[in-house]
């Protein structure tokens, strides 16, 4: 397959409510879409997961755009023949920048699969036609508002609740939500690196709430610290930010730093590496689940397909479109009985609404030839 042109689209989408985490508050999403067109005229789309600012990871959306424009897109356009499987050989001269590489891979893969009439789910190895969904709940202004928000998600049918926590917003909100949900409900927390080893005794108090897991309590580089924590508390430790590849996942598992893994395709450089992480974890009986980065329908469609692989045994942050957006860039993903259907059409199986891409654009598309 020859990629004839690539265009970069940048748009702003308001969130239905502010999303607060230990690293900041977001009220809109700064979306970067990569659109590829093959020499045969087949189109593919990918969505970059990077945030507007480098506060979740070192990558951020303008940085990704710069790397794609100046390094990745020229390498892809220069290749006489390229597929998602051979892409890495063309872009591995760029160190890191996994979120930038992941969106290019997603667009190339989408075009490749559309050209051959294969869905993401079939290509990646999906074994289910629908996936159990959870929802990530931000830090709220008060416990009452948190309980209102959680109650709303429960009535929508979500099968698992994840609460964002930070020092000063942990035991009390988690206890209140556990009391609201009852003992059997799946409840987990995500600290986004807000704690240190000095907090171990405090984090042990979370054991009282029967949590499914605690996600990324310490900084991403601190695999050893997570191993110390995992040995000191009953709540299973799950790494997110730390897991940048299958090799890192394998190492973190070997060192008992993580017993569950959050897989985010953008963070690890793409869907192919995500499948390798899934395979490494499945071989060791480590459950995985699909994380999210407030994706529009473009990224969500591919994530839902990934979440249908056999090792994805826990509900992911694969929420419905309306969790974040009043109107989505594609046909909306809607929860039915706490699940989303895996798209079955070629590629991601969703159609990008070009009129909305144009309407919400924050600058004209950048065309690369
Ligand atoms: O840590 O999982 C995270 C959103 C942005 C950045 C990091 C994270 C998140 C979420 C929301 O928790 C996941 C989602 O619903 O898409
Ligand atoms: Mg997380």
- pLDDT tens, residue by residue, 214-267: 999 999 999 999 999 999 999 999 999 999 999 999 999 999 999 999 999 999
For the chain, give every domain's residue range: 3-117+355-368, 122-341
Out of 292, 295, 307, 320, give the residue to mutate to test ligand 1, the one with the largest number of ligand atoms within 8 Å of its CB: 292
Q: How many degrees, rounded to 5, is the angle at CA 218 between CA 60 and CA 220?
A: 40
Residue 60: the pLDDT is 98
Distance 342 CA to ligand 1 centre (A): 20
Ligand 2 center to 319 CA (angstroms)? 14
> Bridge partners of 31?
11
Q: Is 264 an active-site residue?
A: yes
pLDDT of residue 234: 98
Is there an atom of ligand 1 within 6 Å of 241 CB?
Answer: no
Tell me the C-alpha distance between 178 and 157, whole Å: 17
Residue 284, both tokens: 């060791």
162 is annotated as an active-site residue? no
Q: What is the pLDDT of residue 204?
A: 98
CA of 2 to the centre of ligand 1 (A): 34
C-beta of residue 244 within 8 angstroms of C-beta of residue 97: no
Residues of the chain with pLDDT under 50: none
Beta strands in the chain (DSSP E): 3-21, 24-38, 43-48, 130-132, 134-137, 160-164, 186-190, 214-215, 237-239, 260-263, 288-290, 339-341, 366-368
Radius of gyration of the chain (CA): 20
User: Atom 12 in ligand 1: which residue has the minimum CA distance?
Assistant: 136
Q: Work out the number of other CB atoms within 10 angstroms of the CB of residue 102.
A: 30
What Cα–Cα distance (Å) separates residue 347 from each residue in 69, 152, 252? 24, 33, 32
Give residue 202's pLDDT: 98
Q: Confirm if 342 and 128 have CB atoms less than 8 A apart.
A: yes
Q: How far apart are CA 52 and CA 92, in angstroms?
A: 24
Kindly give the number of the ligand 1 atom that is closest to the alpha carbon of 319.
15
Cα–chain-centroid distance for residue 55? 15
The best mutation among 162, 293, 297, 304 to test binding of ligand 1, ranked by most ligand atoms within 8 Å of the C-beta, falls on 293
Please indicate whether residue 50, judged by its CB atom, sits closer than 6 Å to ligand 1. no
Q: What is the dihedral of CA 191, 230, 257, 189, to 10 degrees?
A: -20
The residue with tokens 């969790």 is 323
Atom of ligand 1 nearest to the CA of 323: 15
Q: Give the pLDDT score at 148.
A: 98
| Predicted ipTM > 0.95 | yes
Q: What pTM, to 2 d.p., does this model score?
A: 0.97
Q: Which atom of ligand 1 is nearest to the CA of 215?
A: 1
- Closest ligand to the CA of 325: 1
Mean pLDDT of the chain: 98
Query: Which pairing describes strands 3-21 and 24-38: parallel, antiparallel, or unpaired?
Result: antiparallel
Maximum alpha-carbon separation in the chain: 60
Residue recorded with tokens 């079939």: 122
Check if CATH label 3.80.10.10 holds for domain 122-341.
no
How far, in Å, is the centroid of ligand 2 from the Cα of 131? 19
Domain 3-117+355-368 CATH assignment equals 3.40.50.620: no
Q: Which of 21, 31, 153 to mutate to test the pocket of ligand 1 (most atoms within 8 A of CB)?
A: 21
- Report pLDDT digits (tens) over 3-27: 999 999 999 999 999 999 999 999 9
Residues 10, 361 contacting (CB under 8 angstroms): yes
Give the number of the atom of ligand 1 that is nearest the alpha carbon of residue 324. 15
């Amino acid at each position: 397959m020859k990629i004839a042109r690539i265009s970069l689209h940048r748009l702003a989408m308001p969130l239905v409510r502010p999303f607060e985490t230990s690293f900041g508050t977001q009220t809109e999403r700064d979306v970067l879409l990569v659109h590829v067109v093959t020499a045969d005229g087949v189109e593919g789309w990918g969505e970059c997961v990077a945030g507007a600012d480098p506060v979740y990871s070192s990558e951020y959306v303008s940085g990704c755009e710069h790397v794609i424009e100046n390094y990745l897109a020229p390498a892809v356009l220069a290749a006489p023949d390229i597929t998602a499987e051979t892409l890495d050989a063309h872009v591995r001269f760029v160190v890191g920048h996994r979120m930038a590489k992941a969106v290019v891979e997603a667009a190339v893969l989408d075009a490749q699969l559309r050209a051959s009439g294969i869905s993401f789910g079939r290509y990646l190895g999906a074994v289910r036609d629908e996936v159990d969904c959870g929802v990530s709940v931000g830090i709220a202004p008060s416990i009452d508002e948190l309980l209102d928000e959680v109650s709303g998600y429960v009535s929508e049918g979500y099968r698992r609740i994840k609460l964002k926590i930070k020092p000063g917003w942990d035991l009390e909100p988690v206890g209140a939500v556990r009391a609201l949900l009852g003992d059997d409900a799946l409840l987990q927390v995500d600290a986004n690196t807000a704690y240190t080893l000095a907090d171990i005794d405090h984090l042990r108090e979370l054991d009282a709430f029967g949590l499914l897991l605690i996600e990324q309590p310490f900084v991403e580089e601190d695999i050893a610290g997570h191993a110390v924590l995992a040995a000191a508390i009953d709540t299973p430790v799950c790494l997110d930010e730390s897991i940048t590849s299958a090799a890192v996942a394998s190492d973190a598992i070997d060192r008992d730093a993580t017993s569950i893994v959050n897989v985010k395709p953008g963070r690890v450089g793409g869907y192919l590496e995500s499948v390798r992480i899934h395979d490494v974890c499945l071989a060791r009986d480590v459950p995985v689940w699909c994380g999210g980065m407030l994706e529009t329908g473009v990224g969500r469609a591919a994530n839902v397909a990934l979440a249908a692989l056999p090792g994805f045994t826990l509900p992911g942050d694969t929420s419905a479109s309306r969790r974040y957006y009043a109107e989505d860039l594609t046909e909306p993903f809607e929860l039915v009985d706490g699940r989303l259907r895996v798209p079955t059409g070629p590629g991601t199986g969703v159609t990008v609404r070009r009129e909305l891409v144009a309407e919400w654009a924050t600058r004209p598309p950048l065309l690369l030839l």
